[in-house]
Amino acid sequence: MVQEGDLLTTSEAAALLRSSRQHVVDMCERGLLPFVKVGAHRRLHRADVEAVLRPELTRDQLKALWLHRAVAGRLVQDPDAVLARASANLERLRRVHPDGMAARWLDRWAEVLDAGVEAVLDTLVSRAPVAIELRQNSPFAGVLPEPERRAVLAAFADRWRSTHAA
């Protein structure tokens, strides 16, 4: 059961996130922050907003985030090429996964890609739960040259070992 204090207005969420109300609305519209409608107004679960502030990522989720940050770097250098590769990969993946949960996430990726470069960048580097899930079904395979991909993975492994040493 949802308690009265569990739902936040977009203004309250913005205050918690130390951002503008419009940024919260944009995150909602891009699917990066789940919300419910109460009448004509968006309401956000406090837990979803707090997850954006302090998400606890697994090792695999953090590794995917590092790789997608590198993809974001490529995207800002050559948006047309990166988006074309992602679109082609997305179409191939949709043929392989025509239904089920993977298909739903691929549909979400299609929406993000259609929303443009800024929406894609937000999703690539966001710690929001929806972005974390999206990265598990990423259409960005092949964007990073293999030596760069290996370098990112090696840097991640070094960082993980240094911060999680027993």
* Domain of residue 22, CATH code: 1.10.10
| pLDDT for the residue numbered 81 | 97
For the chain, which ranges sit under pLDDT 50?
Answer: 1-3
Check whether residue 127 and residue 108 sit in a common domain: yes
Identify the domain containing residue 141 by its residue range: 59-163
Check whether residue 67 and residue 140 sit in a common domain: yes
Check whether residue 65 and residue 104 sit in a common domain: yes
With CA atoms as reference, report the closest residue to 156 among 74, 76, 70, 86. 70
| pLDDT for the residue numbered 2 | 43
Check whether residue 42 and residue 79 sit in a common domain: no
Check whether residue 152 and residue 115 sit in a common domain: yes
Q: 107-130, pLDDT tens digit by residue?
A: 999 999 999 999 999 999 988 888
Check whether residue 49 and residue 63 sit in a common domain: no
Check whether residue 36 and residue 64 sit in a common domain: no
Check whether residue 141 and residue 72 sit in a common domain: yes
Q: What is the DSSP letter of 144?
A: S
SS3 37: strand
Check whether residue 47 and residue 63 sit in a common domain: no
| pLDDT for the residue numbered 110 | 96
| Total domains, the chain | 2
C-beta pairs of 123-128 under 8 Å, 24+ apart in sequence:
123/30, 123/32, 124/68, 124/69, 124/71, 124/72, 124/75, 125/65, 125/68, 125/69, 125/72, 126/32, 126/52, 127/51, 127/52, 127/55, 127/57, 127/65, 128/27, 128/32, 128/33, 128/51, 128/52, 128/55
